[in-house]
Amino acid sequence: MGRVHLEALRRVEGVDVVAIAGRELASAQRLGAGYGIEKFESDYRKILSDPSIDAVHICTPNALHFSMTKDALLAGKHILCEKPLSTSIETAEELVNLANNRHLRNCVCHNLRYYPMVQQMRRMREDGDLGRILMVQGNYLQDWLLDEAAWNWRIDSDAGGQLRTMGDIGTHWFDMAEHVTGLRVRSLCADLETFYPTRQRPAKNVQASIAQLAAAPAAAGEHVTVATEDFGAVVFQMDAGARGTMTACQMAAGRKNQLRMEIFGTKASVGWNQERPDELWVGHRDSANNIYIKDPGLMKEKARSYADLPCGHSEGYDDTFKQVFRRFYASIGQPGSPAEYPQLVDGLRHMLLMDAQLKSHRTRQWVDVKAL
Ligand SMILES: NC(=O)c1ccc[n+]([C@@H]2O[C@H](COP(=O)([O-])OP(=O)(O)OC[C@H]3O[C@@H](n4cnc5c(N)ncnc54)[C@H](O)[C@@H]3O)[C@@H](O)[C@H]2O)c1
């Protein structure tokens, strides 16, 4: 994600990337080569002690988010942390309190909210076009862990957290469902499964990224027990009587990044699929259904600022980061303005949702999600 953030930041007005920290100096230098970056460090604290730096992005494995975000906030930096926020509720709460007490801008990177057609769904719901929300359903499916030899730090709960699939992609799905509907999940029943109880961790401690795995699957290595789930299914109840179901899996052959969401209201329905992001399905009972192709001219006025290009030119994953970062940095320049992006408190809410999923799975019962 370091590269994705770096490239997106180059497209945000008034922001200069001036430093990169990596575990190895050489890899940080490789990442930043050609971008005019002045400073490279292997210890991120050296960047935090630089008073000329206003904000930092944390793009490391999940278990490092807490200590790095805490150090950054204590150093007085505005922070943008990748999701999921942390690996425990307690640490997430500590970060929320610290950011609030220090009046620092804080964002957790649920960028998928910012596809133009997702914003269109949100504004349609706000304008009452869908009526009362009855049902939300969908899935987030990937296939990069289908091979038993596939390995990544996410599989190890010490690096990624107790829930892997639900933390890595399930949090994106629930963030979008709550953002678009304006409703909160209050109670849920979850089923989790680990299809491969062991996986082969490469002999050399290579923590391949998704892209690297796709290009060169890890060589056979030691068999280790897997404590994190490959699959999760959740039945849930939301505010105002709305009901929902979702499935997430990282072993669904052929589904690369299929975040699909359908929202059914008393007046109309909407459906969106991340693999075809410029299309929005609108369903009606008494007239023909529509498929809208992203076109700022046809979009709700409040959704339009999320579409920078004219119709016919697709806007995708990379652009969602630009939209989050633009709003985050604009808010730094405007103290007191509302935060139009997901904040650490949203990351905490996702930790509470995951905690309820784990409890429900273990007890085979419905569990209420702790209110904030
Ligand atoms: N928002 C999204 O759409 C999205 C997509 C993918 C990943 N993510 C999140 O981004 C984060 C990183 O995931 P990834 O897929 O890029 O992982 P990755 O393994 O590809 O990259 C992690 C990087 O962190 C570096 N690192 C590890 N320890 C470090 C340290 N002590 N100091 C400095 N650098 C260190 C590693 O060297 C590596 O370059 C995760 O939290 C993940 O959940 C978000």
What residue owns the CA closest to ligand 1's atom 5? 1
Which tens digits make up the pLDDT trace of 101-160? 999 999 999 999 999 999 999 999 999 999 999 999 999 999 999 988 888 999 999 999
Ligand 1 center to 119 CA (angstroms): 27
Which protein residues touch ligand 1 with a CB less than 6 Å away? 1-2, 21-23, 44, 59-62, 64, 82-83, 109, 111, 153, 168, 207, 209-210
Structural tokens at position 236: 């849930």
Ligand 1 center to 24 CA (angstroms): 14
363: in domain: no
Ligand 1 center to 334 CA (angstroms): 29
What residue owns the CA closest to ligand 1's atom 25? 60
Q: What's the DSSP call for residue 243?
A: E
- Beta strand 231-238 with 243-249 is antiparallel
Q: What is this structure's pTM?
A: 0.96
In a shared domain, residues 190 and 302: yes
- Report d(CA 372, CA 354) in Å as an integer: 14
pLDDT on residue 201 = 84
Indicate which atom in ligand 1 lies nearest the CA of residue 112. 3
73: in domain: yes
User: Which of residues 79, 111, 143 is at a domain's end?
Assistant: 111
pLDDT on residue 91 = 98
Domain at 269, CATH number: 3.30.360.10
Structural tokens at position 363: 């007890």
Indicate which atom in ligand 1 lies nearest the CA of residue 168. 43
User: Which of residues 262, 289, 309 is at a domain's end?
Assistant: 309
pLDDT on residue 149 = 82
Ligand 1 center to 187 CA (angstroms): 31
Ligand 1 center to 287 CA (angstroms): 47
Give the chain's domain count. Answer: 2
Q: Report, as an integer, the average pLDDT of 173-185.
A: 98
What residue owns the CA closest to ligand 1's atom 37? 23
320: in domain: no
pLDDT on residue 84 = 98
352: in domain: no
Ligand 1 center to 206 CA (angstroms): 14
Ligand 1 center to 80 CA (angstroms): 13
Indicate which atom in ligand 1 lies nearest the CA of residue 110. 1
Q: Give 32-40 contacts, CB < 8 A, sequence gap 24+.
A: 32/6, 35/6, 35/10
**Banded pLDDT at 6 (limits 50, 70, 90):** very high
Burial class (CB in 10 A: 0-12, 13-18, 19+), 56: buried
In a shared domain, residues 131 and 14: no
In a shared domain, residues 81 and 134: no
pLDDT on residue 150 = 85
Indicate which atom in ligand 1 lies nearest the CA of residue 111. 1
Ligand 1 center to 99 CA (angstroms): 22
> What CA–CA distances, in Å, run from 194 to 164, 175, 268?
10, 23, 37
pLDDT on residue 219 = 64
pLDDT on residue 151 = 87
Q: Which of 120, 167, 15, 2 lies closest to 68, judged by CA?
A: 2
Burial class (CB in 10 A: 0-12, 13-18, 19+), 138: buried
In a shared domain, residues 163 and 301: yes
Which tens digits make up the pLDDT trace of 190-235? 999 999 999 988 765 554 555 666 666 656 678 899 999 999 999 9
In a shared domain, residues 220 and 290: yes
Ligand 1 center to 2 CA (angstroms): 7
237: in domain: yes
DSSP H helices in the chain: 2-9, 25-32, 45-48, 65-74, 89-101, 116-126, 157-160, 165, 171-181, 210-215, 317-332, 344-363
pLDDT on residue 218 = 57
Burial class (CB in 10 A: 0-12, 13-18, 19+), 44: buried
Query: With contact defined as beta carbons under 8 Å apart, do 17 and 9 qualify?
Result: yes
SS3 assignment, position 91: helix
User: Which of residues 111, 126, 150 is at a domain's end?
Assistant: 111
Q: What is the DSSP string of 282-351?
A: EE-SSS--EEEEP-GGGS-GGGGGG--S-TTS---HHHHHHHHHHHHHHHHTSTT----S--HHHHHHHH
324: in domain: no
What residue owns the CA closest to ligand 1's atom 3? 111
Q: Which residues pair with 78 in a beta bridge?
A: 55
pLDDT on residue 222 = 83
What residue owns the CA closest to ligand 1's atom 31? 23
Find the domain containing 20 and state its range: 2-111
pLDDT on residue 213 = 62
- Report d(CA 21, CA 15) in Å as an integer: 18
- Report d(CA 363, CA 184) in Å as an integer: 23
In a shared domain, residues 162 and 105: no
In a shared domain, residues 101 and 163: no
State the amino acid at position 275 in one-letter form: E
What residue owns the CA closest to ligand 1's atom 14? 1
18: left (phi over 0), alpha (psi -120 to 50) or beta: alpha
In a shared domain, residues 205 and 254: yes
In a shared domain, residues 257 and 298: yes
318: in domain: no
Structural tokens at position 150: 């596939």
In a shared domain, residues 148 and 15: no
Calculate the average pLDDT of the chain. Answer: 95
Domain at 55, CATH number: 3.40.50.720
315: in domain: no
What residue owns the CA closest to ligand 1's atom 27? 60
Which tens digits make up the pLDDT trace of 235-270? 999 999 999 999 999 999 999 999 999 999 999 999
Ligand 1 center to 126 CA (angstroms): 35
What residue owns the CA closest to ligand 1's atom 34? 22
In a shared domain, residues 210 and 78: no
Q: Which residues does 96 contact at the CB level (< 8 Å), separation at least 6?
A: 344, 345, 347, 348
Ligand 1 center to 273 CA (angstroms): 25
pLDDT on residue 221 = 76
pLDDT on residue 204 = 58
In a shared domain, residues 120 and 247: yes
Q: Which residue out of 59, 168, 207, 257 has the highest number of ligand 1 atoms within 8 Å of its CB and is therefore the one to mutate?
A: 59
